[in-house]
Amino acid sequence: MQQTRLTGKDVAEHDNKESCWVIIHGKAYDVTEFLPEHPGGAGVILKHAGKDATEAFEPIHPPDTLDKYLDRSKHLGGVDMSTVIAEEKSFDPDEESRQQRIALMPPLGKCFNLHDFESVARQVMRRGAWAYYSSGADDEITLRENHSAYHKIWFRPRILVDVEQVDSSTSMLGSKCEVPFYVTATALGKLGHLEGEVVLTRAASRHGVIQMIPTLGSCSFDEIVDAKRGDQVQWLQLYVNQDREITKRIVQHAEKRGCKGLFVTVDAPQLGRREKDIRTRFEGAASDVQKNNPGAIDRSQGAARAISTFIDPSLSWKDIPYFKSITKMPIVLKGVQRVEDVLTAIEHGIPAVVLSNHGGRQLDTAPSAIEILADVMPELRRRGLQDKIEVYVDGGVRRATDIIKALCLGAKGVGIGRPFLYAMSAYGEPGVVHAMQLLKDEFEVAMRLIGARSVGELGPEFVDVRGLSMHSVPTPADFLSSDVYDRLVVPAFAVK
Ligand SMILES: Cc1cc2c(cc1C)[n+](S(=O)(=O)[O-])c1c(=O)[nH]c(=O)nc-1n2C[C@H](O)[C@H](O)[C@H](O)COP(=O)(O)O
């Protein structure tokens, strides 16, 4: 018997803290009891109480979230959407000018490097989305050091080597790949593009690039795996949940779906304070709540805090045997930041680490990954341990020369985050495909010019790192990346 469908009026009657219903994708849900548990605070839900909340829900939560985490008794059934009164969209001058910029944006062919995508994305993305993607922690010193550290390394090019054939292929975690870089895990892909992470999946498959699937994707894990083509390699990035049963379920499902590596993020017992994200979200959420309820400012500390309260801060070396007991996938520690921890990882039988500071989004004034790499590899060689572990780096990689410097210093591969997000947000899948092609083209030229024919030929003799550990030394003016850098701001005064 056809279940009677609710009307918009039925739902609209439940528009408060005592009884809060919302509509998501044409179905009604009673989220009253969930309000105090919502990581993003009750305010963001109450703003949509009694209404269609699909637009706000979409970029932050994979479609299967409610099926997975909201008790079935709270699923109220379908809503006759013809009876739902669409919310009046108040005039948003920001959105108006954003649409004008989109109409005037440069064609994709005018993007010649990864910075170009950052520059365009900053103009055409919604403010909150840009803030979430671009932000680093605190003063964003590490965010900027990640890229400028590469400018403290100089090449020692070799001449009169036959470089007619250049081969960029390599292997990472035992998987063959066309290029020595991969798409690293970045959350909330639908903030930048309606389709979210599957755009990165499809683009990566075009170039034989490995994709690391984020725990906090906007797309569900299965949507991202279903989007892969052929024998495309995917890894899983894991934020460890305080509920180890949930973690076990996620990991074993990823292994069953063919993931070739488990990247446990270890630099985020709590997500960092990214003030651009907080400032944008705070303005959005708090101003409304403050107006009608000054006492209860919405405490959503930006999207980052809103999505990460499940992460287990008690994670420690003691948990390594647990991970080995629940999966056969190689276990990689992502976010290692000192030599001693690489050595401890080897002692625990960990096959690979990612030297990373989370793109400068966690501990500000943590060193760049490339600087740590320059410490780690000589120490591993000194102890005869260089073949015991694969070392990856990520953070601030914007040129193929950055990738080559990392390979020369002993990295097995390089993760890239924001550039592919910006390319996706500004130009969709064609943008990401173009960004990857630009990197490939740059790689071929740079390899020829330093006199190397394959990734295997690269070594420390090709680089001079004497300037790397001097933090105060001014690096050459890097106009392109400083021009696209979105400076931090201070609180704005009201306009009379
Ligand atoms: C840019 C970005 C990075 C995130 C990211 C989201 C964004 C928008 N998120 S976050 O929401 O929690 O911070 C993740 C994440 O889900 N998990 C993770 O391990 N790293 C996350 N990272 C870090 C990422 O995996 C790389 O370490 C970092 O992006 C490399 O720096 P670049 O962006 O400069 O390439």
**Alpha helices by DSSP H, 191-232:** 198-207, 221-226
pLDDT digits (tens, 9 = 90+) for 378-409: 999 999 999 999 999 999 999 999 999 999 99
Please state whether 410 falls in left (phi above 0), alpha (psi between -120 and 50) or beta. left
Task: Give the pLDDT of the chain (496 residues) as one tens digit per residue.
Answer: 456 689 999 999 999 999 999 999 999 999 998 888 776 778 888 889 999 999 888 888 888 888 888 889 999 999 999 999 887 777 778 889 999 999 999 999 999 999 999 999 999 999 999 999 999 999 999 999 999 999 999 999 999 999 999 999 999 999 999 999 999 999 999 999 999 999 999 999 999 999 999 999 999 999 999 999 999 999 999 999 988 999 999 999 999 999 999 999 999 998 899 988 888 864 443 333 333 333 333 444 556 666 677 788 899 999 999 999 999 999 999 999 999 999 999 999 999 999 999 999 999 999 999 999 999 999 999 999 999 999 999 999 999 999 999 999 999 999 999 999 999 999 999 999 999 999 999 999 999 999 999 999 999 999 999 989 887 666 777 878 888 989 888 777 777 7
Any atom of ligand 1 within 6 Å of the Cβ of 359 = yes
368 CA to centre of ligand 1 in angstroms: 14
Q: Confirm if 209 and 179 have CB atoms less than 8 A apart.
A: yes
Q: Whose CA is nearest to atom 10 of ligand 1?
A: 187
Give, for 120, the enclosing helix (H) or strand (E): helix 114-124
Active site residue 267: yes
Which residue from 19, 8, 11 is spatially nearest to 81, judged by alpha carbons? 8
Whole-structure pTM value = 0.88
Q: For residue 413, what are the β-bridge partners?
A: 392
220 CA to centre of ligand 1 in angstroms: 17
d(CA 438, CA 403): 13
455 CA to centre of ligand 1 in angstroms: 26
Q: How far is CA 143 from CA 92, 183, 345, in A?
A: 31, 18, 25
Atom of ligand 1 nearest to the CA of 134: 1
d(CA 466, CA 485): 27
Catalytic choice (30, 52, 267, 364): 267
Active site residue 29: no
Q: Confirm if 417 and 184 have CB atoms less than 8 A apart.
A: yes
Any atom of ligand 1 within 6 Å of the Cβ of 337 = no
83 CA to centre of ligand 1 in angstroms: 41
Let me know the angle formed at the C-alpha of 368 by 362 and 371, rounded to the nearest 5 degrees: 150
Any atom of ligand 1 within 6 Å of the Cβ of 416 = yes
Q: Confirm if 44 and 298 have CB atoms less than 8 A apart.
A: yes
Catalytic choice (358, 364, 375, 392): 358
Structure ipTM: 0.99
Mutate to test the pocket of ligand 1, among 145, 277, 334, 358 (most ligand atoms within 8 A of CB): 358
358 CA to centre of ligand 1 in angstroms: 5
First-to-final CA distance of the chain:
60
Angle, to 10 degrees, between the axis of helix 114-124 and the axis of helix 127-134? 140
Mutate to test the pocket of ligand 1, among 182, 184, 266, 305 (most ligand atoms within 8 A of CB): 184
Active site residue 288: no
